[in-house]
C-alpha cells in the first residue's frame, strides 16, 4: 500500500466552530467604531485616549485564559508552562502589537475628521494591503473568486475619493480636513493590512517551542487569547507612553466634565468602547490563527454594512449615491469570496476522496 503521509494536507475548514465564533465576535465589535465617532462628535479630543480604547480591553481575557489553561493541562497532562507561547513568538507578536497600535492611532486621526460611514469604508481598503502582504510574506495563492473579492472590496471604498463635497457636514466643511482624514484612514488601512498577515507569518515561523520540535502550537482559542493578550499589552504600553507625552491624563477629568453627553456617559463610553473593540480584536486574531489573515480582512470589510446602519441611525449621517455604490460593491465582493471558498472546499474534498480511493486500491488506479 502506498504511503500518503507526504500528500498535501487539506486546508483548514473555514467554517469550523472557532472560525464562526471569531466571525461573530468581529461583527459584535462593530459598535466600537460608532463609540469612537461619538467620542469625537461630543467633544472628545484626546487622540491617544481614543487609541487606548481600541487596544486596552485585553485584561478581560485573563480570567477565561487562566481557566482554559488549567482545564487543558488537567485534561491533557503537563504543566501550564508547556502551553504558553514560545518566547520568540511572544517577542514577534509584541512588535506587531505596537504596529497595530499605530494603525489604531491613524484610525483615530481619520475618525476625528470624517463621518463614521466614510472612515469605515476607507478602512476597508486594508483588504488590498492585506492581500499584497499575504502574497509577499504568507505565501497566499489567489483563486479567481478571492481576487474578485479583493478588487471589489477595494474599488468600492476607493470610489469615495471622487466626491468629498458630500461630506461637508456641519463643522466639517473644510476640504483640506476631508482629504487629511481621507489619507489618515488609508494610512491606518495600510498598517492594519500589513499587521494581519505578519501575525500569520509569526505563527508559522515562531510557533515552535524549540528549533527541533516537530509540532506547532494548536489552533485553539487558548492560543488565540494569548496572542491577543500579548498584542494588547504591547499596544497599551505604546498608548500609555503617548498619553504621557501628550498630557492626556491631565485632560481626562476636564474633558469628562465638558462632554456633550454628560460625565457619567463619558466614562461609560470609554468602558463599553474598550469591551467592543476587544471583542472585535479577539475575533480578528481568532480568524487569523484558525483560518487565515485574508479571511480576517474580509470580515473587517463585512463590518461595513453594520457601521453604515449605525452611523445613519444614531449619528444621522448622510447616505448618498457614492456611499451606496461603495456598499454594494463591498457586499458583492464578500458574497463572491463566500461562494469561491465553498466551491474550492467542495473541489478539494473530492480530490482527497479520489486520492484516498486510488491509494487504497493501487491496482485499480493503475488500470484506469
pLDDT in tens, 17-70: 888 899 999 988 888 888 998 999 899 999 999 999 999 999 999 999 988 888
Range among 98-112, 120-134, 300-314 rated most confident: 98-112
Radius of gyration of the chain (CA): 22
Residue 309 burial (CB count, 10 A)? 14
The full set of domain ranges for the chain reads 31-210+217-358
- Burial class for 276, CB neighbours closer than 10 Å (0-12, 13-18, 19+): buried
What's the confidence (pLDDT) of residue 151?
78
What is the distance, to the nearest Å, from the Cα of residue 276 to the centroid of all Cα atoms in its chain?
13
What's the confidence (pLDDT) of residue 50?
94
What's the confidence (pLDDT) of residue 2?
40
For the segment 151-161, the average pLDDT, to the nearest whole number, is 67
Residues 353, 121: Cα–Cα separation, whole Å: 42
DSSP 270-309: HHHHHHHHHHHHHHHHHHHHHT-HHHHHHHHHHHHHHHHH
Range among 97-111, 199-213, 299-313, 322-336 rated most confident: 97-111
Judge whether 55 and 192 are in contact, CB under 8 Å.
no
What's the confidence (pLDDT) of residue 161?
55
Statement: residue 299 has pLDDT above 50: yes
What's the confidence (pLDDT) of residue 137?
80
Lowest mean pLDDT of 70-79, 125-134, 214-223, 321-330, name the range: 214-223
pLDDT tier, 171 (very low <50, low <70, confident <90, very high otherwise): very low
Lowest mean pLDDT of 67-71, 97-101, 345-349, name the range: 345-349
Which is more confidently placed, 161 or 349? 349
pLDDT tier, 3 (very low <50, low <70, confident <90, very high otherwise): very low
pLDDT tier, 9 (very low <50, low <70, confident <90, very high otherwise): very low
Residues 292, 277: Cα–Cα separation, whole Å: 20
What's the confidence (pLDDT) of residue 54?
95
Statement: residue 164 has pLDDT above 60: no
Judge whether 275 and 57 are in contact, CB under 8 Å.
yes
Residues 247, 262: Cα–Cα separation, whole Å: 22
Range among 101-105, 121-125, 323-327, 336-340 rated most confident: 101-105
Cell numbers given for 234: 504591547
Residues 162, 180: Cα–Cα separation, whole Å: 14
**Locus of grid cell 502506498:** 2
Residues 357, 368: Cα–Cα separation, whole Å: 12
pLDDT digits (tens, 9 = 90+) for 249-287: 989 999 999 999 999 999 999 999 999 999 999 999 999
Which is more confidently placed, 21 or 136? 21
What's the confidence (pLDDT) of residue 150?
74
Residues 180, 241: Cα–Cα separation, whole Å: 25
Judge whether 232 and 56 are in contact, CB under 8 Å.
yes
What's the confidence (pLDDT) of residue 208?
59
What's the confidence (pLDDT) of residue 56?
93
Residue 263 burial (CB count, 10 A)? 13
pLDDT tier, 220 (very low <50, low <70, confident <90, very high otherwise): confident
What's the confidence (pLDDT) of residue 293?
86
For the segment 197-214, the average pLDDT, to the nearest whole number, is 71
Amino acid at each position: 500500500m502506498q504511503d500518503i503521509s507526504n500528500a498535501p494536507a487539506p486546508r483548514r475548514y473555514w467554517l469550523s466552530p472557532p472560525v464562526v465564533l471569531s466571525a461573530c465576535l468581529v461583527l459584535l465589535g462593530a459598535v466600537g467604531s460608532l463609540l469612537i465617532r461619538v467620542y469625537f462628535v461630543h467633544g472628545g479630543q484626546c487622540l491617544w485616549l481614543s487609541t487606548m480604547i481600541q487596544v486596552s480591553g485585553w485584561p478581560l481575557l485573563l480570567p477565561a485564559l487562566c481557566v482554559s489553561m488549567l482545564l487543558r493541562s488537567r485534561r491533557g497532562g503537563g504543566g501550564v508552562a508547556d502551553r504558553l507561547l514560545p518566547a520568540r513568538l511572544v517577542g514577534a507578536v509584541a512588535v506587531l502589537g505596537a504596529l497595530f497600535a499605530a494603525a489604531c492611532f491613524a484610525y483615530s486621526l481619520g475618525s476625528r475628521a470624517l463621518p463614521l460611514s466614510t472612515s469605515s469604508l476607507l478602512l476597508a481598503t486594508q483588504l488590498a494591503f492585506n492581500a499584497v502582504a499575504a502574497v509577499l510574506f504568507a505565501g497566499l495563492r489567489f483563486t479567481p473568486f478571492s481576487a474578485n473579492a479583493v478588487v471589489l472590496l477595494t474599488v468600492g471604498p476607493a470610489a469615495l475619493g471622487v466626491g468629498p463635497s458630500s461630506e461637508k457636514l456641519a463643522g466639517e466643511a473644510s476640504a483640506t480636513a476631508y482629504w487629511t482624514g481621507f489619507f489618515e484612514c488609508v494610512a491606518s488601512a495600510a498598517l492594519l493590512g500589513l499587521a494581519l498577515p505578519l501575525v500569520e507569518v509569526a505563527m508559522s515561523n515562531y510557533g515552535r517551542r524549540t528549533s527541533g520540535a516537530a509540532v506547532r502550537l494548536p489552533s485553539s482559542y487558548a492560543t488565540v487569547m494569548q496572542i491577543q493578550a500579548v498584542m494588547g499589552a504591547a499596544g497599551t504600553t505604546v498608548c500609555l507612553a503617548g498619553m504621557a507625552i501628550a498630557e492626556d491624563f491631565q485632560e481626562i477629568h476636564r474633558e469628562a466634565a465638558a462632554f456633550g453627553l454628560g460625565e457619567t456617559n463619558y466614562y461609560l463610553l470609554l468602558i463599553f468602547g474598550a469591551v467592543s473593540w476587544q471583542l472585535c480584536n479577539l475575533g480578528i486574531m481568532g480568524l487569523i490563527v484558525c483560518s487565515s489573515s485574508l479571511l480576517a480582512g474580509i470580515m473587517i470589510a463585512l463590518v461595513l454594512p453594520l457601521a453604515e446602519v449605525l452611523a445613519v441611525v444614531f449619528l444621522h449621517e448622510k447616505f448618498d449615491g457614492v456611499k451606496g455604490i461603495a456598499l454594494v460593491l463591498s457586499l458583492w465582493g464578500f458574497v463572491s469570496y463566500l461562494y469561491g471558498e465553498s466551491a474550492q472546499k467542495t473541489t478539494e474534498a473530492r480530490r482527497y476522496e479520489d486520492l484516498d480511493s486510488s491509494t487504497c486500491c493501487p491496482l485499480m488506479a493503475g488500470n484506469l
